[in-house]
């Protein structure tokens, strides 16, 4: 409520700073600087990192307070089971559909077949350089299995987990604490939930302030990233990058349609209401960093049930890694084409399941570690995972902006869809 | 007194001038003396150019690690040098020295027990590590430990392709006893067997320079081939100079020379100056 009032009273300067045109211009400026003045870009790059840290600073407190508050409220309600069941169903539905889209497009376009001689030479050089430095091996050090995945989910010490940023452990703890809070007697529950809600709002205000610096942050982030990316490899993988962008665009547009129908707004407004979240995601490549803006856009601009948004968006940000699904899907088909391994229908079905599993197994891990999860998909299919990891790392600076942006938008779409199906308000206690 | 002193000086002058003008090497051991009397040292060397050991640069200069080493040795000995590049196999390089037609062989020569039966080897001047070249598709079939990829494959019955008659056939057998080894006439054939999807060969083991040269020549093949260095002292390949069985003193002298000039090192360090010639 108070945020809405603020919008009308904002001074001109602050209005300009939050204008999407300025933000987009800053990003384009950063890209141009990265291309034409790479040395200067490297100097200003730390400013971008500082800004990103500033954004991420309050993410875990927001995640914890949002989850506790929403779960705490929900568990005071009888329809809880149906409600959580619906979240799970839609999450899996989205994961599988996106996985199918990500596999079908490269199967049709075939980015891994018929690479030019010069492209093959560049890829070969990239791979042999990695072989000699042994850089790819380090990402595969931790063996993944279902038991170790469970083990990683349960924190030994929650404060240690927060310190180290183990988002999956923090999520697990927050859900448990939310359930426990919901089970408390009326008085205690209301007191505790009042606290967490107040904390959530306070942390949110900090994000609101930081958002005014977004143009500067994105400018230096983009400049630094472009300057350090290996452009040669990116060009050699041009078709791969294009397919990633195409798949992302398709999922993005589909998400826009879902949001537009579910919230009964125009197609244009479905996109524009979440512009902050989308731009942050594109510029920072951090789903977490854009989480507060997504919550804000969905609940304030699109008027999706606030309680539900506060629950589903943090959950989805950690668990539903659509960006990884897109990358895994395209990479799997690309690798099969590059190495002349033919994928039958059974292989493709297996791949679809493995892609979803790998994305869930990588939940809560930083981008590079979750890229290494491709071994979960590649090993059963007999594809070389370490080689593809090297190539994925090389093109990541170019593909991550679009996949992260699509990720946060698909999370928003799934939230809007779940909220639409929620006919009557589930949470009656909240006024 | 005066006369006696003059005679002494006279004798001294004669002795001294004999040393300078006539260069009497009669005090030297026979192997060194033969080289000194000839005025140059004959170096047996492989006929093909191999970067970074012996090759011609863009301007046609004959350079490389082996060439520079031979030149420095000649300079320190105080003689000239001549390269005999007639040998077409590595055994012929050794034969030339064994037959006394060359004084020493500097030509990326491995110290093998069979060669040591006919010639003397100095201490090594480069330690080459063997490198494993594995088909990336094959590697994906094995559960490789990223920290110890070489050791983690030993449990599997691998199929290895090697060049016939090289020390790497034995190295491969000893490294992977459970595997089968197919021998080929040339290294290129062995690597092609690994690249061929229909061929069972999965691995080639060769010295790091050989592998590096191959990958530099055909960079696109790294898409399908993964290089894994074998960091195990037992399989190292020490390169040494071979001298004739009678050249005991030359062998001693070369060992002392290596020691005093700190010659011996790993391939990375010694061959770094030649990195630019790969372009």
Residue A238 token pair: 């041009």
Interface size A-B, in CB pairs within 8 Å, comes to: 63
Q: Per-domain residue ranges for chain B?
A: 28-125+239-278, 130-235
The pair of three-digit structure tokens given for residue A147, joined into one six-digit string = 């038991």
Q: Any CB–CB contact under 8 A between B151 and chain A? A: no
pLDDT surpasses 80 at A48: yes
Asked if A124 lies within 8 A of B221 by C-beta distance, the reply is: yes
Residues in chain B within 8 Å Cβ distance of A389: none
Please tell me the predicted confidence (pLDDT) of residue A1: 41
At residue B166 the predicted structure's pLDDT band, cuts being 50, 70 and 90, is confident
Check CB contact of B142 with chain A, cutoff 8 Å. no
Q: Do A387 and B221 touch (CB under 8 A)?
A: no
Q: Residue A136 pLDDT more than 80?
A: no
Residues of B in contact with A121 (CB under 8 A): 219-220
Token representation of residue A218? 């994105």
Span B134-157, mean pLDDT?
A: 83
Mean pLDDT of chain A: 84
Contact: B223, A127; criterion CB under 8 Å: yes
For the stretch A210-242, pLDDT in tens is 888 888 888 888 888 777 666 778 888 889 999
Residue A85: pLDDT band with limits 50, 70, 90: confident
Query: A169: pLDDT confidence band, cut at 50, 70 and 90?
Result: confident
Q: What is the 3-state secondary structure (H, E, C) of chain A?
A: CHHHHHHHHCCHHHHHHCCHHHHHHHHHHHHHHHHHCHHHHHHHHHHHHHHHHHHHHCHHHHHHHHHHHHHHHHCCCCCHHHHHHHHHHHHHHHHHHHHHHHHHHHHHHCCCCCCCHHHHHHHHHHHHHHHHHCCCHHHHCCCCCHHHHHHHHCCCCHHHHHHHCCHHHHHHHHHHHHHHHHCCCHHHHHHHHHHHHHHHHHHHHHHHHHHHHHHHHHHHHHHHHHHHCCHHHHHHCHHHHHHHHHHHHHHHHHHHHHHHHHCCCCHHHHHHCCHHHHHHHHHHCCHHHHHHHHHHHHHHHCCCCHHHHHHHHHHHHHHCCHHHHHHHHHHHHHHHHHCCCCCCHHHHHHHHHHHHHHHHHCCCCCHHHHHCCHHHHHHHHCCCHHHHHHHHHHHHHHHHHHHHHHHHHHHHHHHHHHHHHCCCCCCCCCC
Residue numbers of B between 80 and 139 with CB closer than 8 Å to A: 136-137, 139
Task: Label the pairing between strands B242-243 and B180-184.
Answer: unpaired
Contact flag B224-A339 (C-beta cutoff 8 Å): yes
What does the mean pLDDT of chain B come to? 87
> Which among A117, A141, A384 has CB closest to B147?
A141
Convert the pLDDT of each residue in B169-201 to its tens digit. Answer: 888 998 999 999 999 998 899 999 999 878 778
pLDDT band at A431 (very low <50, low <70, confident <90, very high): very low
Examine the pLDDT at B269 and tell me if it is beyond 80. no
Instruction: Pick A283 or A7 by higher pLDDT.
Output: A283
B199 near A CB under 8 A? no
Between chains, do A132 and B226 touch, taking CB under 8 Å as contact? Answer: no
What does the pLDDT read at residue A430?
42
pLDDT exceeds cutoff 50 at B117: yes
Question: CA-to-CA distance for A396 and A185, rounded, in angstroms?
Answer: 49
Fold assignment, B130-235: D-Maltodextrin-Binding Protein; domain 2 (3.40.190)
- Please tell me which residue, B144 or B202, carries the higher pLDDT value: B202
pLDDT tens per residue, range A244-253? 999 999 999 9
Is B140 close to A338, i.e. CB distance below 8 A? no
Cβ–Cβ gap A123/B220 under 8 Å: yes
Contacts of A391 in chain B (CB under 8 A): none
pLDDT in tens, A375-408: 889 988 989 888 888 888 888 888 989 999 999 9
pLDDT of residue A326: 96
pLDDT tens string B27-70: 888 999 999 999 999 999 999 998 889 999 889 899 999 999 99
Q: Smallest Cβ distance to B223: which of A338, A341, A379?
A: A338
Q: Sort out which chain A residues have CB atoms less than 8 A from B231's CB and list them.
A: none
CB of A117 less than 8 A from some CB of B: yes
Average pLDDT over residues B94-109: 94
Compute the nearest-CA separation of B220 from chain A (Å): 4
Place of tokens 């050791």: B151
- The ipTM is 0.72
Contact B223 A387 (CB under 8 A): yes
pLDDT the model gives residue B17? 58
CATH of B28-125+239-278, one of 3.40.190.10, 2.40.50.140, 3.40.50.80, 3.30.450.40: 3.40.190.10
Mean pLDDT value across residues B143-149 = 75
Q: Which residues pair with B126 in a beta bridge?
A: B239, B265
Residue of A nearest to B135 (CA): A384
Q: A340 — contact with chain B (CB < 8 Å)? A: yes
Q: Which domains does chain A have, with CATH numbers?
A: 2-421 (1.10.3860.10)
pLDDT grade for A5, boundaries at 50, 70 and 90: very low
Token reading at A260: 């537009």
Q: Identify the pLDDT of residue B15.
A: 59
């Amino acid at each position: 409520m108070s945020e809405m009032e603020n919008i009308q009273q904002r001074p001109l300067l602050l209005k300009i700073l939050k204008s999407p045109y300025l933000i987009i211009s800053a990003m384009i400026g950063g890209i141009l600087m990265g291309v034409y003045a790479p040395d200067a870009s490297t100097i200003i790059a730390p400013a971008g990192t500082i800004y990103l840290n500033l954004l991420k600073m309050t993410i875990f407190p927001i995640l914890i307070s949002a989850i506790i508050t929403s779960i705490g409220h929900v568990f005071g309600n009888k329809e809880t089971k149906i409600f959580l069941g619906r979240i799970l169903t839609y999450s899996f539905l989205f994961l599988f559909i996106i996985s199918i889209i990500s596999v079908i497009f490269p199967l049709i376009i075939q980015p891994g077949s018929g690479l030019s001689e010069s492209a093959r030479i560049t890829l070969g050089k990239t791979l042999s350089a990695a072989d000699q430095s042994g850089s790819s091996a380090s990402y595969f050090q931790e063996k993944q299995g279902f038991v170790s995945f469970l083990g990683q989910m349960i924190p030994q010490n929650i404060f240690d987990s927060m310190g180290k940023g183990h988002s999956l452990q923090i999520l697990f703890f927050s859900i448990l604490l939310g359930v426990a809070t919901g089970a408390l007697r009326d008085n205690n529950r209301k007191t505790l939930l009042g606290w967490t809600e107040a904390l959530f709002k306070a942390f949110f205000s900090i994000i609101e302030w930081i958002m005014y610096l977004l143009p500067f942050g994105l400018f230096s982030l983009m400049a630094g990233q472009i300057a350090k990316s290996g452009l040669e490899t990116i060009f050699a993988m041009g078709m791969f990058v294009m397919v990633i962008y195409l798949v992302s665009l398709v999922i993005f547009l589909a998400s826009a349609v879902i949001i537009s129908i579910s919230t009964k707004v125009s197609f244009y407004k479905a996109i524009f209401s979440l512009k902050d979240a989308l731009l942050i995601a594109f510029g920072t490549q951090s789903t977490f960093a854009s989480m507060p803006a997504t919550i804000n856009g969905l609940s304030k601009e699109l008027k999706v049930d606030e309680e539900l948004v506060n629950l589903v968006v943090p959950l989805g940000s950690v668990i539903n890694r659509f960006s990884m699904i897109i990358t895994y899907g395209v990479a799997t088909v690309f690798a099969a084409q590059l190495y002349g391994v033919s994928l039958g229908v059974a292989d493709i079905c297996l791949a679809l399941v493995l892609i979803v599993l790998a994305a869930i197994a990588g939940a809560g891990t930083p981008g590079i570690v979750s890229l290494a999860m491709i071994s979960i998909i590649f090993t059963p299919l007999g594809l070389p995972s370490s080689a593809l990891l090297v190539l994925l790392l090389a093109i990541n600076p170019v593909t991550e902006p679009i996949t992260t942006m699509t990720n946060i938008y698909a999370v928003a779409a799934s939230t809007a869809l779940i909220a639409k199906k929620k006919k009557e308000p589930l949470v009656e206690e909240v006024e | 007194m005066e006369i006696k002193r003059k005679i002494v000086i006279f004798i001294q002058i004669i002795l001294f001038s004999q040393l300078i003008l006539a260069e009497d090497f009669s005090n030297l051991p026979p192997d060194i003396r033969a080289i000194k009397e000839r005025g140059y040292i004959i170096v047996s060397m492989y006929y093909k150019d191999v970067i970074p050991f012996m090759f011609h640069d863009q301007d046609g200069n004959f350079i490389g690690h082996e060439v520079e080493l031979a030149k420095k040795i000649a300079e320190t000995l105080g003689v000239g040098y001549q390269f005999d590049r007639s040998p077409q196999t590595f055994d012929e390089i050794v034969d030339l020295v064994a037959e006394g037609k060359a004084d020493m062989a500097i030509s990326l020569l491995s110290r093998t027990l069979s060669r040591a039966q006919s010639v003397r080897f100095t201490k090594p001047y480069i330690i080459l590590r063997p490198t494993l070249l594995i088909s990336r598709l094959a590697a994906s079939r094995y559960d490789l430990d990223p920290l110890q990829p070489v050791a983690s494959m030993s449990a599997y019955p691998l199929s290895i392709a090697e060049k016939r008659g090289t020390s790497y056939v034995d190295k491969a057998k000893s490294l992977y006893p459970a595997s089968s080894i197919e021998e080929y006439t040339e290294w290129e054939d062995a690597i092609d067997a690994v690249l061929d999807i229909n061929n069972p060969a999965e691995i080639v083991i060769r010295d790091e320079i050989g592998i590096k040269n191959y990958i530099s020549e055909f960079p696109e093949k790294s898409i399908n081939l993964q290089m894994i260095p074998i960091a195990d002292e037992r399989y190292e390949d020490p390169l040494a100079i071979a001298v004739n069985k009678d050249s005991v003193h030359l062998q001693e002298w070369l060992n002392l020379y290596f020691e005093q000039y700190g010659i011996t090192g790993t391939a990375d360090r010694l061959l770094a100056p030649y990195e630019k010639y790969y372009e």
